[in-house]
Chain A
Amino acid sequence: KAGVTQTPRYLIKTRGQQVTLSCSPISGHRSVSWYQQTPGQGLQFLFEYFSETQRNKGNFPGRFSGRQFSNSRSEMNVSTLELGDSALYLCASSLTVSTNEKLFFGSGTQLSVL
Chain B
Amino acid sequence: QQPVQSPQAVILREGEDAVINCSSSKALYSVHWYRQKHGEAPVFLMILLKGGEQKGHEKISASFNEKKQQSSLYLTASQLSYSGTYFCGTDFSGGYQKVTFGTGTKLQVIP
Q: Is the CB of B30 within 8 A of A100?
A: yes
If the complex has contacts A100-B30, A102-B47, are A45 and B98 also in contact, measured as CB distance less than 8 A? Answer: yes
Q: Does B29 contact A (CB under 8 A)?
A: yes
The prevalent SS among residues of B at the interface is: loop
The range of chain B's interface size is: 20 to 34
Q: Does B82 contact A (CB under 8 A)?
A: no
Q: Does B104 contact A (CB under 8 A)?
A: yes
A interface residues, Cβ below 8 angstroms from B: 3-4, 33, 35, 40-45, 48, 56, 90, 92, 98-100, 102-108
A41-B103, A99-B29 known; 12 new pairs, CB 8 Å cut-off, are A42-B104, A45-B98, A45-B99, A45-B100, A56-B97, A90-B42, A99-B97, A103-B42, A104-B44, A105-B41, A105-B42, A107-B40
**B41 closest partner in A (C-beta):** A105
A contact residues around B34 at 8 Å (CB): 103, 105
Q: Is the CB of A99 within 8 A of B95?
A: yes
For residue A95, give the distance in angstroms from its CB to the closest CB of chain B: 13
**B45 closest partner in A (C-beta):** A102
Interface residues of B in 1-58 (CB under 8 A from A): 2, 29-30, 32, 34, 40-44, 47, 49
If the complex has contacts A41-B103, A48-B98, are A100 and B44 also in contact, measured as CB distance less than 8 A? Answer: no
Q: Is the CB of B91 within 8 A of A99?
A: yes
Task: Please list the 6 inter-chain residue pairs (A to B) with the smallest Cβ-Cβ separation, ordered nearest first.
Answer: A42-B103, A105-B41, A43-B101, A102-B44, A99-B95, A99-B91
Q: Does B64 contact A (CB under 8 A)?
A: no
A contact residues around B101 at 8 Å (CB): 35, 42-45
Q: Is the CB of A99 within 8 A of B40?
A: no
If the complex has contacts A99-B30, A100-B49, are A42 and B87 also in contact, measured as CB distance less than 8 A? Answer: yes
Q: Contact check: which of B42, B43, B93 meets A99 at CB < 8 Å?
A: B93
